Amino acid sequence: MGPPAPPSGDVGPTAFLPPSVVSPAPVSLPDSLLRSLRATVGHRAVLSDPERLLVYESDGLTQYRFPPAAVVLPGSAQEVRDVVRILHDAGLPYVARGAGTGLSGGALALDGAVVVATTRLNRILELDVANRRARVQPGVINAQLTRAAAPHGLYYAPDPSSQSACTLGGNVAENSGGPHCLKYGVTNRYVTALTVVLPDGEMVELPTADPELGTLDLVGLFVGSEGCFGIAVEIEVELLPKPEGVRTLLALFDSLEEAGTAVSTIIGKGLLPAALEIMDRATIEAVEDSVFAAGIPRDTEAALVVEFDGVEGGLDAEMSEARGVCLTSGAREVRTASTAADRDALWKGRKKAFGAMGRIAPDLLVQDATVPRSRLPEVLARIGEIGGRYRLRVANVFHAGDGNLHPNLLFDRNDPDELARVEKASREIMAVCIAAGGTITGEHGVGLDKRPYLPMVVPHPVLEAMGQVKAVFDPSGRCNPGKVLPDEYLPGAKSVPVVA
């Protein structure tokens, strides 16, 4: 059997976003299986009533609806293992789910999958202050860990925008980032150990690369595997000491290009801010029209948040240098803050941007792509041009320091013409980012949504190797089916050579 023809660089016409994708009527599990699951986790921890399943048919990518066959809520690692064994033995697909905040559809229950929700696994098992480590269950909420660590002068660095809701198990699955990963890195930098239930129900502690044991970095491989390699049931993470000082500035510009120049100059001067975030005029207007109004003039074309943290010595000098750069780059106003309350005010607009957009359009497609930082100005100009050509409102909020863009396309799914334009514009935006040397997702993951785009950035032999790696963990392909890789590369597909 020969390899499949390399996928073309283009995306099929039905790439994504039908108005509302609903799979066929939900699959019901046989009573005997439900009894078996209930005997394992308790009667109340298995949901099969269609009305109660509604909550689980969608995640943060709300365009899709896939009702699960059932939802199981295990209360311990052992129960996760037992549940997975039951499902594995019955030959049923399943998908792990944290808080359901993911933006790429990674937790959607395709193929009538059973949802294994980590909601009850919400305990911090150990907070080892002296060694700056924590052991947690996967359902612990990101911000909850930082709150628990705060009295000891510690915090958990990765801070996705959904950190008040998203779980650490979900963060591990998605290799989540956040505004501060410019300086501190993403989730894979902080996960030091993982206990996982493999797709066949075996519970193992994954190794890191160790020359004496001859082990590979399976922890590094598992982080970001989007629930396709198993379910993390215990996570050990490194905590950081809270920085001595933090300084934040908000600079307002009359053009996105000026803000982009300021970012490049700050980096070029050898400064390393903890965060460099930009929002554009469409976003500012949405924020200022909402209950989250942050007091930014509505005619501002770009607002740049720059934050420095670290030891007190030197912070003021760095801040002053960055302020100077913003002014020379054309900022019409620079606001600075050093107290927590003032900082919160400067961050307010940025942090509430997504919430505010709900006011101006019924639907929002949160895009996610990364480009080399130096290409930001031209890519932003192209995105603006694409939005104009398709008569769409595009609101940009992005991690400028990382080159991680979030062009948000605003639309109404009940307008088929607009929907078709969103689809075309979105595809063009991806193509522009790839042509600039970037990638299709910086932090939201591939999930279901970006699957058709993956062959645009990942060459055929690598997709083939990824499919083979998936098959090592999950030969039957029942652990989070239909995610990340195009079908032809998933286990079971004829094109993936069987690894004996």
Partner 1 sequence: MVMPEGERVHEDIHRIRHVVASVLGPEGLRDPAPTAEPPGPAVAEPGSPDEAAALLRRAAEEGWRVLPLGAGLGPAEPHPVELLVSPRRMGGVVQYEPADLTLEVGAGMLLEELDRELAQHGQWLPLLPPGGGAVTLGGLVAAGLPGALAAAYGGPRDQLLGLTLADARGRVLTLGGRVVKNVAGFDLVRLTCGSRGALGLICRISFRLHPRPAMDRTLIWAGDDGSEMGALGRRLAELPLPFAALEIHAHRSGTLPDLDGGRWAVTLRAVGSEPAVQRMLDAAAEMAGTPVRCLDGRASEDFGLAAAQDEGAARPQHRRRVLPTELGSLLDGPVAAMDGDPGDQSAAVVADLRTGMVRRLRAQDGGLPPLPRVQDGVQRLHSGLRRVFDPHGILPGSWRDGWS
Site for partner 1 in 126-185 (CB under 8 A): 128, 130-133, 153, 174-175, 177, 181-182, 185
Please compute Rg for the chain using Cα positions.
23
The Cα–Cα gap between 41 and 72 comes to 8
User: Can residue 242 be called a binding residue for partner 1 (CB under 8 A)?
Assistant: yes
What's the CA gap between 281 and 354, in Å, rounded?
A: 14
Minimum CB distance to partner 1 smaller for 42 or for 201:
201
| Residue 159 three-state SS | coil
Query: Min. distance of Cβ 488 from partner 1 in angstroms?
Result: 14
- SS3 assignment, position 420: helix
Query: Among residues 164 and 192, whose Cβ is nearest to partner 1?
Result: 192
Nearest to 265 by CA among 307, 308, 324, 314: 324
Give whichever of 24 and 151 is closer to partner 1, judged by the CB atom. Answer: 151
d(CA 114, CA 45): 13
Q: Toward partner 1, which CB reaches closer, 153 or 362? A: 153
268 binds partner 1 (CB under 8 A): yes
Strand, coil or helix: what is 380?
Answer: helix
* Residue list 90-129, contact with partner 1 (CB under 8 A): 128
**Which member of 444, 448, 478, 480 binds partner 1 (CB under 8 A)?**
444
Q: Does 205 help bind partner 1 (rule: CB under 8 A)?
A: yes
Binding of residue 15 to partner 1 (CB under 8 A):
no
**Of 127 and 221, which has the nearer Cβ to partner 1?**
221
Taking CA atoms, 176 is separated from 119, 142, 225, 341, 404, in Å, by 19, 11, 11, 27, 13
Are 141 and 171 within 8 A, CB to CB?
no
Task: Reduce the secondary structure of 169-201 to three states and give it as a string.
Answer: HHHHHHCCCCCCHHHHCCHHHCEEEEEEECCCC
For partner 1, the closer of residues 94 and 190 by Cβ is: 190
By rule CB under 8 A, what string of x and - marks binding of each residue 387-426 to partner 1?
------------x--xxx----------------------
Site for partner 1 in 23-52 (CB under 8 A): none
Residue 463, interface with partner 1 (CB under 8 A)? yes
Q: What is the separation of C-alpha 101 from the centre of its chain, rounded to a whole number of angstroms?
A: 8
Taking CB under 8 A as the binding criterion, the range among 164-172, 330-338, 407-415, 462-470 that sits at the site for partner 1 is 462-470
Comparing CB distances to partner 1, the nearer of 355 and 475 is 475
186 binds partner 1 (CB under 8 A): yes
Whole-angstrom distance, CA of residue 300 vs CA of residue 278: 12
Q: Decide: helix, strand or coil at residue 210.
A: strand
Q: Does 80 bind partner 1 (CB under 8 A)?
A: no
- Residue 129 CB, shortest distance to partner 1, in Å, is 10
Q: Which is nearer to partner 1, 36 or 439 (CB)?
A: 439
**Eight-class DSSP state of 496:** S
Could you tell me whether strands 94-97 and 114-117 are parallel, antiparallel, or unpaired per DSSP bridges? parallel
Choose the binding region for partner 1 from 118-126, 283-291, 352-360, 450-458 (rule: CB under 8 A): 450-458
Applying CB under 8 A, among 287, 331, 371, 397 the residue interacting with partner 1 is: 371
Q: Which is nearer to partner 1, 124 or 457 (CB)?
A: 457
- As measured in angstroms, the least distance from the Cβ of 25 to partner 1 is 33
Q: Is 338 in the site for partner 1 (CB under 8 A)?
A: no
Residue 204 makes contact with partner 1 by CB under 8 A: yes
491 Cβ contact list (under 8 Å, min separation 6): 467, 470, 471, 474, 475, 476, 477
Identity of the residue, 39 or 209, whose beta carbon is nearer to partner 1 in the bound complex? 209
The DSSP symbol for 26 reads P
User: Beta 404-411 vs 369-370: how paired, if at all?
Assistant: antiparallel
117 or 218: whose CB is closer to partner 1? 218
Should residue 4 be labelled a site residue for partner 1 when binding is judged by CB under 8 A?
no
Residue 10 touching partner 1 (CB under 8 A): no
Residue 9 binds to partner 1 (criterion: CB under 8 A): no
- Determine the interface stretch with partner 1 among 12-20, 44-52, 412-420, 440-448 (rule: CB under 8 A): 440-448
Strand partners, 249: 306, 336
CA 473 to CA 496: how far, in whole Å? Answer: 14
* Backbone torsion region of residue 361, taken as left when φ is above 0, otherwise alpha when ψ lies between -120 and 50, otherwise beta: beta
Please select the residue that binds partner 1; options are 1, 211, 291, 494, rule is CB under 8 A: 211
Residue of the chain from 39, 54, 317, 420 that contacts partner 1 (CB under 8 A): 317
The strand pairing partners of 406, in sequence order, are 397
Through-space distance between the first and last CA atoms of the chain, rounded to whole angstroms: 15
